[in-house]
Amino acid sequence: MTNTMVITLLYGSPLVVFLGLYVLKKKRQHKESEAFLQEAEAARLTEPASLHPVIDPVQCIGCGTCVSACPEHNVLGLVANKAVLVNPTNCIGHGACKTACPQDAIELVFGSATRGVDIPEVSPEFETSVPGIYIAGELGGMGLIKNAIEQGRQAMESISKKLPRKRAGGMLDCIIVGAGPSGLSATLQAISEGLNTITIDQETTGGTVAHFPRGKLVMTAPAQLPLVGAVKFTEISKEELMSFWMKVVRENNVKIQEKEALVDISGDIEKGFTVTSSKKSYQTRRILLTIGRRGTPRKLGVEGEEKSKVAYRMIDPEQYKNDHVLVVGGGDSALEAACSIAELGNSTVTISYRSEAFSRAKPKNRARIERLESEGKMTVLMSSNVTRITDDTVEIKITHGEKEKVIERKNTAIIVCAGGILPTPFLKKIGIEVTTKYGTA
């Protein structure tokens, strides 16, 4: 054996082994990505909720840089050596994939060819087509916490710069509607600017985050929060994030008027706006809307729905200990709520859904429902609708073909997960231009 052959074997063998392991790893990753994509397609969960990447297959070289850059697990993957959005509904619009792509093969868009997403038109300063009314955060399409924080701060800076220095007597400088990440950031910025503002929220401080399931991990990124400075958390639980928000509120003497919903807006930038809430009316020079996209919870419209035992989301399953619970809905939020309560083992749980199958829910949630039903820990009523609610019972109509029957079940708590009425009609009513995006930026 010549020296050349010895050297080749000595240095070439590890390289061959390395290449072999690399190829095996890539094959495994491709297989996993294909499985996630097939699962999403089977469950018909193929429409991203908001901002998301579209990958140009011609430009994409399959390097996987975007997959590595994505902070979410198994959202992007490689299929047939091309980057693909394999779990669209879990995409939060981070945008790290576009930044990381060396081929500029990724565009961030709203909506798709088959499903439009309504986005209000705003200027670079976050002002809408109605002068004096601004929008920041999730309503404008930016659901990521870091982006929402930044937009809230920037929007309030823009408002402050444009406000005439002379104040009208008894008039607020700005009313902030919504106390999620964007609204809190805007409120802190307003305090730092010395502005006369109030912040209202139809529910509680924290916005959408406050209603995440207990223990849910919240993906975010380092951000600059007015009066607080650099916030350097990345992946924390819902409880940790809410604890942080509450600490910021206390330490900066932030006043949030909770359980106060926006009802109407009238007036203009010249004479000032009248903002009517569910509690009172306000006169203000500017308005900043930082409300979520889910809007007002959709109701059942049945007798007894106004009772205090009816809620429109589950915050903590423990609060339903020893209750007779009915969960209404067939999406992931309904299934997760029902399962979380049933798995505690100290309540009776029934889930009612108007259709014949949970076709909109993820396979893992459907599997949880099937397991709990087979174990006798849950009752599943398909093709059913609530018809009446009393203090200690609920009436449910079940339809099988042409046959109908109404049953009455003992009940102490009802959770309605029927989606929300989007704020788009309200925005259009007050004159804000809204564009429906079909896969465009």
Please compute, for residue 73, the number of CA atoms within 13 A of its CA located in the half-sphere on the CB side.
3
User: Band of the pLDDT at 23, cuts 50, 70, 90?
Assistant: low
As a whole number of angstroms, the distance between CA 376 and CA 383 comes to 20
Tokens representing 112 are 């798709």
H or E segment to which residue 145 belongs: helix 145-162
H or E segment to which residue 256 belongs: strand 256-257
pLDDT tens per residue, range 65-119: 998 888 777 888 888 888 988 888 777 677 788 888 999 999 988 878 777 777 8
Higher pLDDT, 28 or 243: 243
As a whole number of angstroms, the distance between CA 61 and CA 42 comes to 27
Percent of the chain whose predicted confidence (pLDDT) is above 70: 85
The radius of gyration of the chain's CA atoms, rounded to the nearest angstrom, is 26
User: Which neighbouring-strand residues pair with 200?
Assistant: 177, 257
As a whole number of angstroms, the distance between CA 190 and CA 176 comes to 10
Residue 437: phi, psi to the nearest 5?
-95, 125
Higher pLDDT, 193 or 224: 193
Least confident segment among 82-86, 138-142, 193-197, 385-389: 138-142
As a whole number of angstroms, the distance between CA 396 and CA 399 comes to 10
Q: What is the DSSP letter of 167?
A: P
Residue whose token pair is 């390097």:
63
pLDDT tens per residue, range 227-276: 888 877 766 777 777 888 888 888 988 889 988 989 999 999 999 999 99
Domains, the chain? 16-109 (3.30.70.20), 117-294 (3.50.50.60), 310-420 (3.50.50.60)
Q: Are the beta carbons of 150 and 191 closer than 8 angstroms? A: no
Please compute, for residue 235, the number of CA atoms within 13 A of its CA located in the half-sphere on the CB side.
5
User: Band of the pLDDT at 4, cuts 50, 70, 90?
Assistant: low
